[in-house]
Amino acid sequence: MRRLKYVVFYILMLTLLMSGCSKNTEFNITPPISTLAPEQINLMEGDFSLKIISPLDGQVFSSQIIEVKGETLPRAVVTINDLIILSDDDGNFEVKLTVSEGLNLIVIEASNAEGDSLIAQLTVDVDLER
């Protein structure tokens, strides 16, 4: 939902600029502020599941080092962006990830022994001045 609001905002801005406004036209428009709480991701396909405990989708951080934690099948291969790890014997995984300032896309993929996979995508925002 939050991403949709930003897409609408930028489409509005492009429409205004393309409608003949000069470069010197001043706009007093601010991006929409979401009142929705960050969301936890929970995927399931049969007995295979992927739950992202942290970070939450849309969460804002004041540090570039964030902790990615989740649950899936025991001993599953988990890929977090380009980092490959194994979940423990209980299916838990945890890793510290360094991200850039601003918006960051985090892609988490869990794969089972049969080759099936579940993929979660979430966005976090790093604001170092916060």
pTM of the model: 0.69
Clarify whether residues 67 and 111 are in a common domain.
Answer: yes
For residue 9, what are the domain limits? 1-35
Q: What is the pLDDT of residues 90-125, one digit of tens each?
A: 999 999 999 999 999 999 999 998 989 999 999 999
Clarify whether residues 42 and 26 are in a common domain.
Answer: no
pLDDT at 5 (0 to 100): 58
- Give the burial class of 41: count Cβ atoms within 10 A of its Cβ; 0-12 exposed, 13-18 middle, 19 or more buried: middle
Q: How many CB atoms lie within 10 A of CB 80?
A: 19
pLDDT at 89 over 50: yes
pLDDT at 48 (0 to 100): 92
- Distance CA(29)–CA(31), nearest Å, equals 7
Instruction: List CB contacts of 46: < 8 A, sequence separation 6 or more.
Output: none
Q: How many domains does the chain have?
A: 2
Q: What is the pLDDT of residues 23-67, one digit of tens each?
A: 555 555 544 444 455 778 888 888 899 999 999 999 999 999 999
Clarify whether residues 25 and 87 are in a common domain.
Answer: no
CATH number of the CATH domain containing 95: 2.60.40.10
Is 47 in a helix, a strand, or coil?
coil
